[in-house]
Chains A and B, each alone.
Chain A
Amino acid sequence: MTDFPLPVRGEISASASVPQAPYGAWGLRLAALSYLAAFIVVPVMVIYVQGLRFGLDTFLESLSRPDTANAIRLSIWTAALMTVINTVMGTLTAYVLVAYRFPGKKLFNLLIDIPFAVPTLVIGVMLVVAYGPQTFLGAFFEDQLGIRIVFNTPGIVLALLFVGYPFVVRTVQPVLAQLDANQQEAAHTIGASPWATFYRVILPVLRPAILTGALLSFARSLGEFGSIVIISGNIPMRTQTATVYIYTQIEEGNIQAAAGASAVLLFVSFVVTIGVDLFLRRQQHA
Chain B
Amino acid sequence: MREVTPRSFPAIALVVIVIAYAIILLVVPFITIIQGAFEDGLQPVLDTFSHIDVRHALLVSFVLSVIALSVNAIFGLITAWVLVRHRFTGRRLFDALVDIPFVFATPIAGYATIVMFGRTGWFAPTIIPIVFAYPAIVLVKIFVSLPFITREIQPVLGTLSPDYEEAAYTIGANRWLTFRRVILPEIWTALLYGIVLTFARMIGEFGAVSVVGGALEGYTETATTFIFRALKDRDNTGGYSMSVLLCIISVIILIVMNQLKSRFADSAVRQSQG
Contact = CB atoms under 8 A, between A and B. Distances in A.
A196 interface: no
A32 B78 contact: yes
Interface in A113-140: 113-123, 125-127, 129-131, 135, 137
A129 B36 contact: yes
A222 B105 contact: yes
A99 B5 CA distance: 8
B6 A102 contact: yes
B204 A122 contact: yes
Contacts of A56: none
Contact of B207 (A39, A123, A247): A247
Majority secondary structure, A binding face: helix
Contact of B19 (A33, A50, A108): A108
Contact of A242 (B10, B105, B253): B105
B213 interface: no
A273 B97 CA distance: 10
Contacts of A181: 1-2
B105 A262 contact: yes
B44 interface: no
Contacts of A216: 102
B250 interface: yes
Given A108-B19, A117-B254, A125-B240, A96 B14 contact: yes
A111 B27 contact: yes
A59 interface: no
A279 interface: no
Interface string A72-105: 0000000000000000010011011011111000
Nearest to A96: B18
B250 A12 contact: no
Interface in B97-123: 97-116, 122
A35 B78 contact: yes
Nearest to A219: B103
B112 A47 contact: yes
Contact of B81 (A28, A112, A226): A28
Interface residues of A, number: 95
A101 B3 contact: yes
A91 to B, nearest CB: 10
A165 B228 contact: no
Contact of A162 (B26, B205, B228): B26
A129 B32 contact: yes
A257 to B, nearest CB: 11
Contacts of B254: 110, 113-114, 117
Interface string A15-31: 11110100011001101
Given A32-B79, A89-B18, A246-B108, A17 B103 contact: no
Contacts of B96: 274, 277
A122 B32 contact: no
A28 B82 contact: yes
B45 interface: no
A159 B41 CA distance: 28
Interface in A17-74: 17-18, 20, 24-25, 28-29, 31-33, 35-36, 39-44, 46-47, 50
Contacts of B203: 119
A203 interface: no
Contact of A122 (B78, B174, B243): B243
Interface string B251-267: 10111011000000000
A44 B111 contact: no
B190 to A, nearest CB: 16
8 contacts: A29-B86, A31-B75, A118-B247, A122-B204, A122-B224, A122-B246, A125-B231, A130-B29
